[in-house]
Structure 1
Amino acid sequence: MLDRLRHWRERRFAARHPLPEDAWREARYRVPLLAALDEEEALRLGHRAWRFLHAKRISLHPTLAETTPFDLPARLALAGQACLLTLGWSHDEHLEAFGNVHEVLILPDAFQRRVEEMDEFGVMHEYDDERAGETSCQGPVVVAFPDLMESGDFSGFNVLIHEFAHKLDLGNSLDVNGFPPLPGDIDPREWHRVFTAVWGDLQGHLERSTPTPIDDYAATHPGECFAVCCEAFFTAPDLLHDVYPALFALLGRYFRQQTLARLPPSGDDARPEHH
């Protein structure tokens, strides 16, 4: 009964609020990650992103709101990148996964947080950490506007995917730990084994003072490891596939997406024809 009611509500929403196709086309034109989708995926994501904009609050810092236009295509581009994570999941799974998302807050610039951490010897260290984004269990997804503008391509960086990966991670706990709710076809022991191997490899690179295969921020915390690997899965799938093939395959099963197939040819920004 509840499923029928939910589906009826979704059909009614679609009838009353049809997807603005021109704005969605423009959003895809601006964002290579969205432009790389095939037409079926793009249409499904467009409807999901449009619904996301009606269900969640997108807020600009007052200073930013006064100086920076943030039109409907920009908002759809933001929502599209967030919903890209759950594109392979059913509508109900998507709603459940982002049930802890209520607001996306965009700040004019990177921001600082005072951090306290205890080292392996029990000594507490305090420092100011500059951040491009942050979130919490039921708190807003906070992102810095410059980093938002740098997101959306195949460079390996995407602040939205990173922070929304944290929201997935927070689906079963009050803090990020790299262990989100898993579908029935993924054994938690396999998840732990694969991510532990990646974590160990990253720590080994740091101990040897050699460059890490992916962003070394992944080596700071298991929750950050998950978020950085999600960034790479969507925005640098060839890199992740080459350096951590078992993890790439596991994330492919988790997200139910084949991101490597979306990677544009070298030198191609994967933008669709623009009219």
Structure 2
Amino acid sequence: MANLLSRWFGAQRRERALRKYAIDDTLWQRTLDTYPCFGHLDDADLGRLRETASLFIAQKEFSTAHDLELTDAMIVSIAAQACLPVLNLDLDLYRGWVGVIVYPGEFVIRKTVEDQDGVVHEIEHDASGEAWEGGPVVLSWEDAQMVDGSDAYNVVIHEFAHKLDMVTGEADGHPPLFRRWHAPLDTAAFADIFDNAYDQFCARVDAVPERRWSRFERESLIDPYAADHPSEFFAVCSEALFVTPRAFEAEYPELYRLLARYYRQDPAGTGALDSARA
């Protein structure tokens, strides 16, 4: 009886949230038209994404910095992009934190790092996004609008991929797998494919002569920044999966199939999920 009551109250809260945070038709269509990453979704998927985005907005607290005006268009566009990776998983994977902070443009991150000799340094660098373990997601609104699909770039998807990677702790490029969604894929199989792809990409980056570096940066589908850490490789490749899926599948077919199975989406329409079930 207690479980029935719990489910009933949960359903009631969901319906109230969907009514209270319903997304305006015109604003929703404008969002879909602006962001090419939604192009692989059919009408049923888009309906589920809209509901998930409404629930996301109900659960999270949006704020801005440097006097940036927070608008409904900002909130809906960020929510829709944030919910795309979990569309066929569960919004509950974003539990445990509430803040989404939006800056007008890039912002400064200050970090303490220890070098190989054990010397601690205070460093600063500009960033377009950051996801904190157990804390907020911070985004540059200027960068969040760089979404013409000409390259594999989407700062919102990138930072929320980090959040998925952090579900069970520090981001390491190996997000937790759940039997109800990912079987028969397991942790060992994921690591075997992912780690091999990461090692090969790092070797490729290391082999680029300095005189050709600028050209490599321009022409590489995967941003060389992905070689910094397995967590960055996972996040950058997640961008590629949703933003430039056909190019990603053509250049990294095995990695494409792996991430398609993880996210349970096949944006390039290759049949990757059907093959995984066979």
Same fold (TM over 0.5): yes
Matches within 5 A, 1:80-99: 80-89=80-89, 93-95=90-92, 97-99=93-95
CA displacement at 1:153 relative to structure 2: 3.5
CA displacement at 1:215 relative to structure 2: 0.9
1:230 aligns with 2:230: no
Contact kept, 8 Å, 2:157 with 2:238, in 1: the verdict is yes
Taking structure 1 as reference, are residues 12 and 87 closer, same or farther at Cα in structure 2, changes over 3 Å only?
same
TM-score, normalisation: structure 1: 0.83
Unmatched tracts of structure 1, length 5 or more: 263-275
Contact kept, 8 Å, 2:49 with 2:83, in 1: the verdict is yes
Which residue matches 1:166? 162
Deviations 1:160-198 (Å, cap 9, x if unpaired)?
00000111011001x211111112212100111111111
CA displacement at 1:74 relative to structure 2: 3.3
Which residue matches 1:49? 53
Q: The residue matched to 1:128 in structure 2 has which SS?
A: strand
Q: The residue matched to 1:40 in structure 2 has which SS?
A: helix
Which residue matches 1:109? 105
CA distance in 1, matches of 2:144, 2:164: 19
Which residue matches 1:216? 224
CA displacement at 1:130 relative to structure 2: 1.7
- Higher mean alpha-carbon deviation, 203-212 vs 78-87, is at 203-212
CA distance in 2, matches of 1:53, 1:112: 26
Contact kept, 8 Å, 1:108 with 1:144, in 2: the verdict is yes
Partner AA of 2:177 in structure 1: L
Which residue matches 2:204? 205
CA distance in 1, matches of 2:75, 2:14: 20
Q: The residue matched to 2:82 in structure 1 has which SS?
A: helix
CA distance in 1, matches of 2:12, 2:29: 27
CA distance in 1, matches of 2:255, 2:44: 27
TM-score, normalisation: structure 2: 0.82
CA distance in 2, matches of 1:153, 1:102: 29
Contact kept, 8 Å, 1:114 with 1:126, in 2: the verdict is yes
Taking structure 1 as reference, are residues 8 and 154 closer, same or farther at Cα in structure 2, changes over 3 Å only?
farther
Q: The residue matched to 1:180 in structure 2 has which SS?
A: coil
Using CA pairs below 8 Å that are at least 6 residues apart, which structure has the higher relative contact order? 1
CA displacement at 1:15 relative to structure 2: 4.7
Give the number of aligned pairs: 253
Contact kept, 8 Å, 2:130 with 2:139, in 1: the verdict is yes
- Higher mean alpha-carbon deviation, 135-144 vs 117-126, is at 117-126
- Higher mean alpha-carbon deviation, 120-129 vs 183-192, is at 120-129
CA distance in 2, matches of 1:201, 1:232: 17
Aligned-residue Cα RMSD (Å) equals: 2.3
Taking structure 1 as reference, are residues 79 and 163 closer, same or farther at Cα in structure 2, changes over 3 Å only?
same
Partner AA of 1:182 in structure 2: L
Unmatched tracts of structure 2, length 5 or more: 210-215, 271-278
Which residue matches 2:177? 182
Which residue matches 1:254? 262
1:64 aligns with 2:68: yes
CA distance in 2, matches of 1:224, 1:12: 37
Contact kept, 8 Å, 1:31 with 1:152, in 2: the verdict is yes
Taking structure 1 as reference, are residues 58 and 114 closer, same or farther at Cα in structure 2, changes over 3 Å only?
closer
Choose the corresponding residue for 2:37, options 33, 37, 46.
33
CA displacement at 1:11 relative to structure 2: 2.7
